[in-house]
Amino acid sequence: MASIGILLILTVLSISVGDAKTFINVQCKTENRAQYGQSSLLECVVRTAQDVSNVQIRVVTWKKKGVEEPLLVFNRGRMMANSRYSFAEPSWNDKNMNVSLLIANTAVEDEGVYDCMVMTNSGDNTNHTNLNVTAKYSVPTIKPIPETITQNTDGTLVCNSDGGYPQGQLRWFDEHNMEWTKSADMEVKKTESGLFNLSSSLKLMRGSVFSKYTCIVFNASRGKEDEATFEIPDKPKSEGHEREKGLDPASKIVAPVVVIGSLIAGLLLVLVLCRRRRHQQNRRQSATPLMGDRREVRTCESEDEGGDHQEMDTKCQDSLA
């Protein structure tokens, strides 16, 4: 029934167009931009000649090129429209010259050219406008393969950004702002909703790996939207632990034995040196009283030669005692 009614409306419109003298002009904004998932506004306003007054709108029809069914039709007080389409002004009436179209929950498929046809009691006119839909890409994420990459190992960095429209691009830069995009492989996937998912893989070769890589997502207009940075360490944080884990059982046994043996040898050397020093000190101390005894003997002998033997014997015995 709706299709029959629309057909009758279009027939009436086509007949009226030929009979009416035009004193009006539908002026539309050439380009309209909308964000995916938000409302879109297609701006069109009816302008009349200076000598025309009391203009009343009888018919308004909004159609998208390539689609047979009209999106919105107003015909002499009666309104027929899809649930997502309406006049921009909720309180619109046939005296309101603002015939702009409002599209709710904009989808990728809403992008295209739209025709607005207006009939009044002073004539009719048709104009068209274009709608461009855009969707912002998500913040890029970088995943290393393998999970641990150093500047001395091979690896791959995978950058992903989803949910954008139109098709954008992922580009790679190092810490010196040198671009490496040509060395990367980018994959583009289109979802059922018409949005694009981007993925770029940058292969890294040992010896030529920088310490920092940045992945930037650009939209279709080559405008920068967002970025992510990945830093690569000189050595893995767990390298010391990995080396310990990598030792074989024999090495784990020999290493402690060598250390303990070195300590024992050092202690033995210290003991030998200490004993030598004590022995030398004892020899020096024992040699000193012997030299004193000889001096006493010589003294006794010299005195014995020129004095009383009995008195000298007594003195010598006392001194030796």
* 276 lies in some domain: no
Instruction: From 85, 105, 119, select the one nearest 193 (Cα to Cα).
Output: 105
**d(C-alpha 255, C-alpha 47), whole Å:** 96
Residue 256 pLDDT grade (very low, low, confident, very high; cuts 50, 70, 90): low
Of 188, 207, 235, which closes a domain?
235
Only one residue has tokens 């060598």, namely 258
Task: Answer whether residue 188 is part of any domain.
Answer: yes
Q: Please determine, for residue 163, whether its predicted confidence score (pLDDT) is greater than 80.
A: yes
Whether residue 319 lies inside any domain: the answer is: no
Asked if residue 248 has pLDDT above 80, the reply is no
Q: What's the confidence (pLDDT) of residue 206?
A: 83
For residue 295, being part of any structural domain is answered with no
- Other beta carbons within 10 angstroms of residue 103's beta carbon come to 26
Among 133, 161, 187, give the residue marking a domain's end.
Answer: 133
H helix runs in the chain, sequence order: 2-19, 239-246, 249-306, 309-320
| Together in a domain, 169 and 104 | no
Same domain as 210, residue 147: yes
Same domain, yes or no, for 145 and 190?
yes
Q: Is the same domain home to 36 and 100?
A: yes
Domain containing 109 — which CATH number? 2.60.40.10
- The answer to the question of residue 204 being in a domain is yes
User: Checking phi first, is residue 295 left (phi over 0); if not, alpha (psi -120 to 50) or beta?
Assistant: alpha
Examine the fold and report which residue of 99, 116, 133 is the final residue of a domain before the chain moves on.
133
Mean pLDDT of the chain: 80
For residue 242, pLDDT beyond 60: no
Structural domain harbouring 154: 141-235
Rounded average pLDDT over 177-194:
95
- 128 and 16 inside one domain: yes
Same domain, 19 and 48: yes
- Count up the domains in the chain and report the number: 2
Q: Do 208 and 229 sit in the same domain of this protein?
A: yes
Is the domain of 160 the same as that of 44? no
Whether 119 and 153 share a structural domain: no
Classify residue 263: in a domain, yes or no.
no
pLDDT tens, residue by residue, 132-160: 999 999 999 999 999 888 888 889 999 99
Residue 124 maps to a domain: yes
Write the pLDDT tens digit of every residue in 2-11: 543 454 454 3
- 61-83 pLDDT, tens digit per residue, is 999 999 999 999 999 989 998 88
- Reported as a single tens digit per residue, the pLDDT across 271-318 is 777 777 776 666 666 555 544 444 444 444 444 444 454 454 444 444
Same domain, 162 and 97: no
Report the percent of the chain where pLDDT is more than 70.
Answer: 71
